[in-house]
C-alpha cells in the first residue's frame, strides 16, 4: 500500500479542482488586482472579489468583511495586535487560553512585554474553556477575548456561540482562531457573535501561503491597527499586492468545502470512529484525548500508554501522523497542549494525533489499525513500564532517576 496520510491538521494536499482554478492566474490572467485602469487588473480584481464571497459564505459573513492574509499566523497577529493597538485607550486587558496555537500565544506574550495584561484561562481536561471562566476573567478594562474554535492537536471545539454572546453583552471584542474548524464544521459569525475570525487555505485543500481574516463591519464596526503599512490595500488593514492565484485557490477550496460539508463531515466522522473502535478493540491501556462530545469530525488523539510516541511513528513509518512527544526538541518538553489538559507528561509522550481528510479511505483506516496495533504490541514487549504495570507496580510511586 502507498503511504497513508493522516496528518491533515498539519496541512492538506491541494484539491485538483483548486489547482485548475488557480492556474490561469499564474499565466494569462496575471494582472495586479489593484490596477484599476486596464483589463488585466479588472480580471484579477473580479476573481479576488468572487473569492471574497466564496470565503465569506463559509462563515456567514459578507465579502466586504474579508481581509486577505498570508495565513492564520498573520490573521491571528493582525487581529490580536490590531485590536490591542487600536483600542489601547479603552483598556489593556486581554483574555485567552493556554492551549491556543503558538500563533495566538506568542502575539499575546509580545503584548504582555508591551505593558498589556493577559489572563490565560486553563481548559478542562478535555480541552474546553467554559463561558463561566471567561465571564469570571472579564474586567472593565477588557478589550479582547481570543478563543480558538477548535484545537489543532485534540480537535476539541469550544462553546463559541456562548462566549460570543457574553462578549456582545459586555461590549468586548471576540476573536476566534478558526484555522482547523473553517470548512469542516458550521460557522456563523452572526449567530455566534464573532467579531474577528482567522482562516487558512492549506488546511482545506487550498494552497499554502494564503489565508483570510474576517473583520466585522457592523455592530460593531471593528477597526484594526495594521501590521503592514504601504499601499493601503484591504481597507488599509493589510497593505501588499494581493496573491491573486492563492486567493482564487482559497475561494475555490472554500466553496468546495462548504458544498461537501454535510456529507463529508459524516463520512470522515464515521472513519474516525472506525479508527477509534478498531484501536480500542485490539489494544488495552489506550486513552482518547479531547472531547468526543465536542470535536472536529476528522481528529483523533490517542495516548498509547507505556510506549513513546516517536517510536510509534518510527514503527509505522509509511503512515503519516504527528505526536505530542517532543523527543527531538532540545528542551525535551512534550506538547504544551496535552500538558495543558493536566493529564501528566507521560500521557503527552505517548500520544499520536490522527487527522483524517477528504482523501482518506476506509481501506487506509483498516490498514492503519492493523499497523498501529502491531507496533504498539511490539513496543510494549520492550517497554519496562508495561512490564512494571503487569507486575502490579504503581508507576506513580516509583522514584525515577531524572536527567
Partner 1 sequence: MSYSDKIIDHFQNPRNVGSMDKNQKNVGTGIVGAPECGDVMKLQIMVDDQERIVDAKFKTFGCGSAIASSSLATEWVKGRTLDEAMELKNTDIVKELALPPVKIHCSVLAEDAVRAAIADVKNKVRATGSAKKTVTTA
Catalytic positions are 327
Residue 100 CB, nearest approach to partner 1 (Å)? 23
- Provide, rounded to whole angstroms, the least separation between the CB of residue 339 and partner 1: 10
Work out whether 188 is an interface residue with partner 1 (CB under 8 A): no
- Please count the other Cβ atoms lying within 10 Å of the Cβ belonging to residue 113: 7
Which residue lies nearer to partner 1 by CB, 171 or 387? 387
Strands (E) in 178-216, as ranges, are 196-200, 211-215
**Residue 394, class by beta-carbon neighbours within 10 Å (0-12 exposed, 13-18 middle, 19+ buried)?**
exposed
Inter-residue contact 238 to 48 (CB < 8 Å): no
**244, three cell numbers:** 491573486
Our finding on whether 392 is near partner 1 (CB under 8 A) is no
CA–CA gap between residue 246 and residue 206 (Å, rounded)? 8
Cell numbers standing for residue 54 = 466564496
- Contacts (CB under 8 A) with partner 1, residues 273-312: 306-308, 310-311
Provide the minimum distance between the beta carbon of 291 and partner 1 in the complex, in angstroms, as a whole number. Answer: 24
Radius of gyration of the chain (CA): 22
* DSSP strand pairing (173-177 vs 211-215): unpaired
Question: Is 327 a residue that touches partner 1 (CB under 8 A)?
Answer: yes
Residue placing its CB nearer to partner 1 in the complex, 165 or 320: 320
Handedness of CA 20, 21, 25, 28 (dihedral sign): positive
How far is Cα 155 from Cα 273, in angstroms, rounded to an integer? 14
Q: Which range touches partner 1 (CB under 8 A), out of 25-33, 43-51, 134-142, 383-391? A: 383-391
In this structure, what is the dihedral angle of CA atoms 24, 26, 28, 31, given to the nearest 10 degrees? 110
Interface pattern 13-32 for partner 1 (x via CB under 8 A): --------------------
Alpha-helical segments (H) within 283-315: 309-315
Q: Considering only residues 3, 113, 284, 328, which one is a binding residue for partner 1 as defined by CB under 8 A?
A: 328
Near partner 1 by CB under 8 A, which window of 167-175, 224-232, 343-351, 355-363? Answer: 343-351
Identified binder of partner 1 from the candidate list 1, 23, 382, 393, rule CB under 8 A: 382
First-residue to last-residue Cα distance in the chain: 41
By CB under 8 A, is residue 3 in contact with partner 1? no
Task: Say how far apart CA 100 and CA 142 lie, in whole Å.
Answer: 19
Task: Please provide the DSSP assignment of 218-256 as one string.
Answer: SSS------SS-SS-TGGGTS-S---HHHHHHHHHHHHH
Q: Does 387 bind partner 1 (CB under 8 A)?
A: yes
Q: Which is nearer to partner 1, 2 or 402 (CB)?
A: 402
The C-alpha cell of 329 is what? 526538541
Check residue 62 for interaction with partner 1 (CB under 8 A): no
Cβ proximity to partner 1: between 273 and 345 the closer is: 345
Minimum CB distance to partner 1 smaller for 266 or for 314: 314
Instruction: Please report how close the Cβ of residue 216 comes to partner 1 at its closest, in angstroms.
Output: 43
Q: Cβ 332 to partner 1, closest distance in Å?
A: 6
CA 273 vs. chain centroid, Å, equals 20
Return the residue of 52, 233, 349, 353 that touches partner 1, per CB under 8 A. 349
Chain center to CA of 65: 21
Of the two residues 191 and 398, which places its CB atom closer to partner 1 in the complex?
398
Cβ closer to partner 1: 8 or 350? 350
Q: Please, what is the minimum distance in Å from the beta carbon of residue 370 to partner 1?
A: 17
Q: How far is the CB of 367 from partner 1 (least distance, A)?
A: 19
- How many residues sit close enough to partner 1 to count as binding (CB under 8 A)? 31
The three three-digit cell numbers of residue 22, written as one number: 488557480
Binding site for partner 1 (CB under 8 A): 306-308, 310-311, 314-315, 325-330, 332, 334, 344-346, 349, 381-387, 395, 400-403
Amino acid at each position: 500500500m502507498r503511504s497513508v496520510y493522516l496528518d491533515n491538521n498539519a496541512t492538506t494536499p491541494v484539491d485538483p479542482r483548486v489547482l485548475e482554478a488557480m492556474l490561469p492566474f499564474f499565466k494569462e490572467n496575471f494582472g495586479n488586482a489593484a490596477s484599476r485602469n486596464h483589463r488585466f487588473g479588472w480580471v484579477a480584481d473580479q476573481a479576488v472579489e468572487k473569492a471574497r464571497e466564496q470565503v465569506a459564505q463559509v462563515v456567514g459573513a459578507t465579502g466586504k468583511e474579508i481581509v486577505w492574509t498570508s495565513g492564520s499566523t498573520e490573521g491571528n497577529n493582525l487581529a490580536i495586535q490590531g485590536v490591542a493597538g487600536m483600542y489601547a485607550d479603552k483598556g489593556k486587558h486581554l483574555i485567552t487560553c493556554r492551549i491556543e496555537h503558538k500563533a495566538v500565544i506568542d502575539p499575546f506574550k509580545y503584548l504582555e512585554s508591551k505593558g498589556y495584561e493577559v489572563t490565560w484561562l486553563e481548559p478542562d481536561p478535555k480541552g474546553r474553556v467554559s463561558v463561566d471562566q471567561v465571564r469570571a476573567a472579564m474586567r472593565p478594562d477588557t478589550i479582547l477575548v481570543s478563543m480558538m474554535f477548535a484545537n489543532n492537536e485534540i480537535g476539541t471545539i469550544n462553546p463559541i456561540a456562548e462566549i460570543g454572546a457574553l462578549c456582545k453583552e459586555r461590549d468586548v471584542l471576540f476573536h476566534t482562531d478558526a484555522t482547523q474548524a473553517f470548512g469542516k464544521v458550521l460557522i456563523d459569525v452572526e449567530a455566534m457573535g464573532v467579531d474577528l475570525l482567522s482562516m487558512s487555505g492549506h488546511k482545506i485543500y487550498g494552497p499554502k501561503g494564503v489565508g483570510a481574516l474576517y473583520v466585522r463591519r457592523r455592530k460593531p464596526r471593528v477597526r484594526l491597527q495594521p501590521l503592514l503599512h504601504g499601499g493601503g490595500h484591504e481597507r488599509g488593514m493589510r497593505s501588499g499586492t494581493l496573491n491573486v492565484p492563492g486567493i482564487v485557490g482559497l475561494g475555490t477550496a472554500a466553496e468546495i468545502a462548504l458544498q461537501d460539508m454535510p456529507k463529508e463531515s459524516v463520512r470522515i466522522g464515521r472513519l474516525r470512529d472506525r479508527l477509534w473502535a478498531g484501536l480500542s478493540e485490539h489494544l488495552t491501556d489506550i486513552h482518547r484525548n479531547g472531547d468526543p462530545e465536542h470535536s472536529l469530525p476528522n481528529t483523533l488523539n490517542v495516548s498509547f500508554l507505556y510506549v513513546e510516541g516517536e517510536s510509534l511513528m518510527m514503527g509505522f513509518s509509511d503512515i503519516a501522523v504527528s505526536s505530542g512527544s517532543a523527543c527531538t526538541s532540545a528542551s525535551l518538553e512534550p506538547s504544551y497542549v496535552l500538558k495543558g489538559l493536566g493529564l501528566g507528561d507521560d500521557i503527552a509522550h505517548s500520544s499520536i494525533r490522527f487527522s483524517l481528510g477528504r482523501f482518506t479511505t476506509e481501506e487506509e483506516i483498516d490498514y492503519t489499525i492493523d499497523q498501529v496495533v502491531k507496533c504498539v504490541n511490539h513496543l510494549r514487549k520492550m517497554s519496562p513500564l508495561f512490564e512494571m504495570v503487569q507486575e502490579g507496580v504503581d508507576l506513580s510511586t516509583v522514584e525515577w532517576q531524572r536527567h
